[in-house]
Chain A
Amino acid sequence: MSQNLRVKSSNFIDETSRISFKFNGKTYYGFKGDTLASALLANDIHLVGRSFKYHRPRGIMTSGSEEPNAIVQVGNDKAITEPNVRATEVEIYNGLEAKSQNCWPSVNFDIGGINNFLSPLLPAGFYYKTFMWPASFWEKYEIAIRHSAGLGRSPTKPDTDIYEHRYIHCDVLVIGAGISGIMAAKTATKNNLNTLLLDEKNELGGMTIYQNSEKFKIDNKISSEWLNDEIEELNKLDNLEIKTRTSVAAYHGYNYLLARENLTDHLSKDEKENKVRQRLLKIRAKKVIVATGSLERPLVFNNNDRPGIMLSSAVKKYADYYGVICGKNNIFFTNNDTAYESAISLLKKGINVHCIIDIRENSNSSIVKEAQDLGLKIYWSHTIVDTHGYKRLKQISIMELSKDGQSFANSNKIVLDCDCLGMSGGWTPAVHLFTQSGGKLKFREKDQVFIPNKYQSEQVSIGSCNGDFELDEIIKNSSDILKDFLKIEKTGFDNINVETSKETSKKNIWLLPSDKIVGKTKPFVDYQNDATAKDIKLALREGFRSIEHVKRYTTTGMGTDQGKLGNMHALGIIADTTGVKMGEVGTTTFRPPYTPLTFGTIVGRNVGEYFDIFRRTPMNDWHINNNAEFENVGQWKRAWYYPRGNETMYEAVQRESKATRESAGILDASTLGKIDIQGSDASEFLNRVYTNAWSKLGIGKCRYGLMLNEDGMVYDDGVTTRLGENHYIMTTTTGGAANVMGKLEDYLQTEWPELDVYLTSVTDHFATATIGGPNSKKILNKLIPDLDLSDENFPHMSFKEEKIGKINCRIMRISFTGELSYEINIQASYGKSLWEQCMDAGKEFNITPYGTETMHLLRAEKGFIIVGQDTDGTMTPIDLQMDWVVSKKKYDFIGKRSLYRSDTMREDRKQMVGLLTNDPNTVLEEGAQIISELNQTPVKMLGHVTSSYFSPNLGKSIALAVVKGGKNMMGKKLFIPMEDKTINVTVVDPIFLDKENKKLNA
């Protein structure tokens, strides 16, 4: 390590703790507290990457999240490598490995650098213009373009890190812990407000914390010392939570904000083991104080992008905070006083500063005087016209500006040697979060900044993000704004004595002139996307006027930095070129996230087994122990089929369905929705929600019902049982349960408040075992010997309240398979035991557990519909040939009116039919299209297959389908065209088995 690039005066770097890391395969050393950028600079490395389009060598430019150039790939583990990380934000740790992006074979020798020489051929819109023709060549172009697209490499394996979410509710959220943020946090907390303070850096204090100049004093203390004392006091307060390394990504409406808390990215592999890497904070704040500070602007001049050209504030931070010298021979280039602070700071550390180039004519501020007193040479009214040095800045050329700043006073050119240029084009308030929240900006001509104007929520901006740049103004205005915002009398900062150097003159030229014509220069506006002033002017010449269009055409303001540095210059150049005022040009939209977020943070723990919620029935363990395969139905895990040995699903289903029809089968039906309905108007309520009539249903009897939407389409179905005079239990489909409950409750509260009806969901309260098949009666008799199971005492579609042992249960004799069948409902905690007893009792009858697939097959044999499989929200009961379930006498029910619309009464609507294949062994594919004529173009599609199985009980393939005008097509031959063949089918009645319902009473 080149020790001579460190100055020993930093309070923030622990020089006793040496850290080794790798950059581009080579080992370097830095100290604890260094960022990758500061450690590289300390090792005299400026060249860290190549630009996106021209592959120009680029160096570290800033010291924060606005960095456009120094974006690197961190880590080489295929699961956790991360592209596009800003070297200025990576805190180094032992074992850190990083490498340059967008260069091959290396950052020093990059083949893509040829683009720089081809740049005259690559103007803005090059891709749009070039690859338009011939159109058929696009597929060939695409291969090459894809290859050069993108920055960095994505991980190729699943992320092994752990991410979490956390919800936070606070009275006051303060974003940014610079001087105004600290003031805000302290004021809010001292007024008993529960406060959260966030900062993206690892230390509090922003830029003031390393400001050691006698020129800036607060309360007679050097500003950094004063702030340090304030922070120490802050740490003692109870009501305050402080989070560092936390960047607010998004500011949504109603003060809902998302922030990324970085917990372990600064730790070595061993230290971060089993710890949460990043946390997404979901914050609801009653009040928000935005104190995000401001970003220094670069200056736009020819070749302003060489490694070694940096922001002046970054040069200062590297020296004052990290103790790192960015160059041995420094020059500053400025249009304001900031560069003077940086220059003085370097001089006082004994670092060589050659001169300052200032585009202003003069300035008499105290800090300029101090620089002059220190013997610093200042070139007033001068600008840089070119820079030299390919991989590192070597020289600059300067010329004297004319009075109007658009050309030169004379043709004299001075060439100066330097290896680091600190530039300052003034400051841009960081209004990103403010505008994300819906805030409206206004333009301040005086110093050419956009500042907050209208707020959309309980929030306020203070400090330099609100356009206050002088120390005394920051403190006074922040204090005044806080008093008003928090409705308090005083802040404790009201009458504080502040000494500062005031800026006395300002001058701004968005695009500095060059002695060459614009076409021959490269004045970069957006460094990351290689967009130059020339490109912006070209876009304007080609007719683009809106800033949003210019952005998309030139790519200015895109990329990982989202144009944090260059957007203002793009606006300025557009305004200057088109003669429009800058405030009227407007800005592009600031969108979240402010800085890039990892997908891991967004997803949190909702990965793997937590990706979606699952629901289990009380019998679940039994199914698992008995080799069941599971199917997702809604969020439920339902037993699908129970393969024995090497059985396929088809074989298992054939066996299960045959066994059920021949002797006995058992199904876990616990997932069906169940709603307990009570109240004196319960019968009337059912009359209104179902299509059929309920008033005359006897107590202890069950009835099937079909529920429609207002549009007359089938919505849900199920059996409802009358338990008492005013007491019913409704069953719904498994997937529809929650929606039906919500819909019915909604009707009760908003449409029919006059009805005395109460609903309670009891879906999870009951476990349901359904025993079906000719021997089911014998099995139930073994379980409850005292129960008279005769058809007279316990007929089909009726229910009994019984006990199994000492446990109460409800038994319904209902059937979804067409077999004699009993549904036993018992309190869920006894469900597993009930199931086991059914299996024991049914052993002698070879009782066979069957899953959802066999259930589907058995009901299809009987032509029973499944809402959601045979219906799709466009089927009326009439379409389903279920006219029998629609009451003609009832005054009203949900959807009744729609059934009499001309469209729902059309004869040629898709209607439910059965299909038989000519070859009984051919099983149709569900979803297959149905046609009536071959060789027709375009072919007229009549409908599609909704359910299809091979029925072992009938020994042939059966299918349910919806066909246009199907009701009148009985016996008609139709075709199912498949990829490799056409299948001939015949339209039949959808009930394939036991039309007379003999089995129900067997």
Chain B
Amino acid sequence: MLNYTSPIKEVKKYSGLTVSEISPLMKLNLRGKSRDFLTTIGQNINIILPLEANTSASSENYTAIWLSPDEWMLVSNRTVNKENNDYEIEKLLFNKISKTNLGSVTDVTDQLVMINLSGEKIFDLLSTGSPFNFNDFRFKKGSSTQTLLAQIDVIIHHNQINSVNLFVRRSFSEHLMSWINDSASRL
């Protein structure tokens, strides 16, 4: 019996900002170029992968974030079981996509840690460490970007008003959290 451990230990609250990790969320990296690839995904998980750069699409269970013209990240909207790591949707898509050479399906559940930022000061925090222009992003629900925050690669997804999800490689997450806590303490 193996125990689940998260690199981020606690929820932090600041004036106008709450920082918390949400886990475990299943994450799949999907890659493919063909029309068949897109329709197979659509038929199997009831989501149309977004084709416009820096956008996302959501269904009841999943959110698909555009990463590049042939790459998306699929994230479960709800946390999954910590007791095992058999994800049915992964198996299904792997069989329908990878095995048929339509593209690739790769489990990246623990590759990325998801940190949720909520509150009205999210973009004040981000502006202290990210060169990205959030002027349009902040008013557009579902927008996403891949940028740097405190010199660390992050995927930022605007999931709802006053709420943003940051995806960061697990190994960087402790450092990034430390930086966020430092910067947020002066907001």
Tell me if B169 and A829 are in contact (CB < 8 A): no
Tell me if A610 and B179 are in contact (CB < 8 A): yes
- Among listed B1-9, B10-18, B53-61, B158-166, interface-contacting one: B1-9
Tell me if B108 and A762 are in contact (CB < 8 A): yes
Tell me if A827 and B85 are in contact (CB < 8 A): yes
Contact A760 to B2, CB < 8 A, known contacts A166-B128, A678-B98, A827-B85: no
Q: Does A516 touch B at the CB level, under 8 Å?
A: no
- Closest residue to B173 on the A side, CB-wise? A616
Tell me if A828 and B2 are in contact (CB < 8 A): no
Tell me if A618 and B183 are in contact (CB < 8 A): no
Tell me if B129 and A762 are in contact (CB < 8 A): no
Tell me if A829 and B4 are in contact (CB < 8 A): yes
Query: Nearest Cβ in chain B — how far from A849, in angstroms?
Result: 18
**C-alpha gap A804/B3 in the complex (Å):** 11
For B83, list chain A residues within 8 Å (CB).
806
Interface bits B94-125 vs A (CB < 8 Å: 1, else 0): 00001101011111111110000000000000
> How many A-B Cβ pairs are below 8 Å?
144
**C-alpha gap A864/B41 in the complex (Å):** 45
- Closest residue to A803 on the B side, CB-wise? B84
Query: Nearest Cβ in chain B — how far from A810, in angstroms?
Result: 11
- Closest residue to A674 on the B side, CB-wise? B111
Q: Does A499 touch B at the CB level, under 8 Å?
A: no
**C-alpha gap A198/B140 in the complex (Å):** 29
Tell me if B110 and A828 are in contact (CB < 8 A): yes
Tell me if B106 and A167 are in contact (CB < 8 A): no
Residue in B82, B103, B110 whose CB lies within 8 Å of A764: B110
Q: Does B135 touch A at the CB level, under 8 Å?
A: yes
**C-alpha gap A932/B84 in the complex (Å):** 62
Tell me if B151 and A613 are in contact (CB < 8 A): yes
Tell me if B175 and A837 are in contact (CB < 8 A): no
Tell me if A765 and B150 are in contact (CB < 8 A): no
**C-alpha gap A827/B171 in the complex (Å):** 13
- A window 579-626: CB within 8 A of B: 605, 609-610, 613-618
Q: Does B141 touch A at the CB level, under 8 Å?
A: no
Interface centre among A164, A618, A764 (most CB of B within 10 A): A764
Tell me if A765 and B110 are in contact (CB < 8 A): yes
Query: Nearest Cβ in chain A — how far from B150, in angstroms?
Result: 7
Tell me if B84 and A807 are in contact (CB < 8 A): yes
For A158, list chain B residues within 8 Å (CB).
none
**C-alpha gap A167/B125 in the complex (Å):** 10
Interface bits B153-185 vs A (CB < 8 Å: 1, else 0): 000000000000000011110110011001100
Tell me if B128 and A760 are in contact (CB < 8 A): no
**C-alpha gap A760/B30 in the complex (Å):** 9
**B interface residues, how many (CB within 8 angstroms):** 54
- Closest residue to A621 on the B side, CB-wise? B5
- A window 362-393: CB within 8 A of B: none
Residue in B31, B127, B174, B175 whose CB lies within 8 Å of A167: B127
Tell me if A164 and B186 are in contact (CB < 8 A): yes
- B window 117-153: CB within 8 A of A: 127-135, 150-152
- Closest residue to B98 on the A side, CB-wise? A678
- A window 163-177: CB within 8 A of B: 164-169
Contact A826 to B2, CB < 8 A, known contacts A762-B108, A764-B110, A807-B85: yes
Residue in B85, B98, B99, B152 whose CB lies within 8 Å of A613: B152
Query: Nearest Cβ in chain B — how far from A36, in angstroms?
Result: 28
Interface residues on A, range: 35 or more
Tell me if B101 and A829 are in contact (CB < 8 A): no
Interface bits A675-710 vs B (CB < 8 Å: 1, else 0): 010111000000000000000000000000000000
Tell me if A837 and B183 are in contact (CB < 8 A): no
Tell me if B150 and A615 are in contact (CB < 8 A): no
Q: Does B32 touch A at the CB level, under 8 Å?
A: yes
Contact A726 to B2, CB < 8 A, known contacts A605-B182, A613-B152: no
**C-alpha gap A284/B130 in the complex (Å):** 13
Tell me if B178 and A609 are in contact (CB < 8 A): yes
Tell me if B111 and A761 are in contact (CB < 8 A): yes
- 19 other contacts beyond A194-B135, A724-B99, A833-B2, with CB at 8 A cut-off? A167-B130, A169-B135, A275-B186, A616-B171, A618-B5, A618-B7, A618-B170, A636-B171, A678-B103, A678-B104, A758-B70, A760-B108, A762-B107, A764-B171, A806-B83, A808-B85, A826-B2, A829-B5, A829-B82
- A window 632-651: CB within 8 A of B: 636
**C-alpha gap A615/B130 in the complex (Å):** 19
- Closest residue to B168 on the A side, CB-wise? A764
For B101, list chain A residues within 8 Å (CB).
679-680, 726, 756
Interface centre among A194, A680, A766, A806 (most CB of B within 10 A): A806
Query: Nearest Cβ in chain A — how far from B72, in angstroms?
Result: 11
B interface residues with partner A (beta carbon < 8 Å): 1-7, 23-24, 29, 31-32, 70, 82-86, 98-99, 101, 103-112, 127-135, 150-152, 169-172, 174-175, 178-179, 182-183, 186
Tell me if B5 and A764 are in contact (CB < 8 A): no
Q: Does A830 touch B at the CB level, under 8 Å?
A: yes
Tell me if A829 and B112 are in contact (CB < 8 A): no
Q: Does A25 touch B at the CB level, under 8 Å?
A: no
Query: Nearest Cβ in chain B — how far from A525, in angstroms?
Result: 42
Q: Which 3 A-B residue pairings sit nearest by Cβ, starting from the closest? A: A678-B104, A615-B171, A758-B104
- Closest residue to B106 on the A side, CB-wise? A760
- Ordered by A's residue number, 29 sampled pairs between the chains whose C-beta atoms are within 8 Å are A162-B186, A164-B186, A165-B129, A166-B128, A169-B133, A276-B186, A605-B182, A616-B171, A618-B170, A636-B171, A678-B31, A760-B29, A760-B104, A760-B108, A762-B108, A763-B111, A763-B169, A763-B171, A764-B170, A806-B2, A806-B85, A806-B86, A808-B86, A829-B5, A829-B82, A829-B110, A830-B3, A833-B2, A837-B2
For A826, list chain B residues within 8 Å (CB).
2
Residue in B4, B7, B84, B103 whose CB lies within 8 Å of A758: B103
**C-alpha gap A834/B182 in the complex (Å):** 32
For A284, list chain B residues within 8 Å (CB).
133
Interface centre among B2, B5, B24, B112 (most CB of A within 10 A): B2
Tell me if B111 and A765 are in contact (CB < 8 A): yes
**C-alpha gap A617/B169 in the complex (Å):** 11
**C-alpha gap A107/B146 in the complex (Å):** 57
Contact A834 to B108, CB < 8 A, known contacts A169-B135, A613-B175: no
For B151, list chain A residues within 8 Å (CB).
613
For A615, list chain B residues within 8 Å (CB).
169, 171-172, 175
Q: Does A297 touch B at the CB level, under 8 Å?
A: no
- Closest residue to B28 on the A side, CB-wise? A760
For A679, list chain B residues within 8 Å (CB).
101, 103-104
Query: Nearest Cβ in chain A — how far from B140, in angstroms?
Result: 15
Q: Does A354 touch B at the CB level, under 8 Å?
A: no
Tell me if B84 and A614 are in contact (CB < 8 A): no
Contact A616 to B174, CB < 8 A, known contacts A764-B112, A765-B111: yes
Interface bits A726-744 vs B (CB < 8 Å: 1, else 0): 1100000000000000000
**C-alpha gap A760/B29 in the complex (Å):** 7
**C-alpha gap A168/B123 in the complex (Å):** 11
- Closest residue to B83 on the A side, CB-wise? A806
**C-alpha gap A761/B29 in the complex (Å):** 9
**C-alpha gap A276/B1 in the complex (Å):** 48
Tell me if A614 and B175 are in contact (CB < 8 A): yes
Residue in B106, B131, B135 whose CB lies within 8 Å of A678: B106
Tell me if B23 and A829 are in contact (CB < 8 A): yes
Query: Nearest Cβ in chain B — how far from A205, in angstroms?
Result: 28
Tell me if B2 and A167 are in contact (CB < 8 A): no
Query: Nearest Cβ in chain A — how far from B36, in angstroms?
Result: 13
Q: Does A551 touch B at the CB level, under 8 Å?
A: no
**C-alpha gap A616/B152 in the complex (Å):** 14
Residue in A194, A610, A678, A832 whose CB lies within 8 Å of B5: A832
**C-alpha gap A764/B112 in the complex (Å):** 7
For B98, list chain A residues within 8 Å (CB).
678, 724, 726-727
**C-alpha gap A390/B129 in the complex (Å):** 53
- Closest residue to A606 on the B side, CB-wise? B151
Q: Does A282 touch B at the CB level, under 8 Å?
A: yes
Contact A828 to B131, CB < 8 A, known contacts A760-B29, A806-B84, A807-B84: no
Query: Nearest Cβ in chain A — how far from B126, in angstroms?
Result: 8
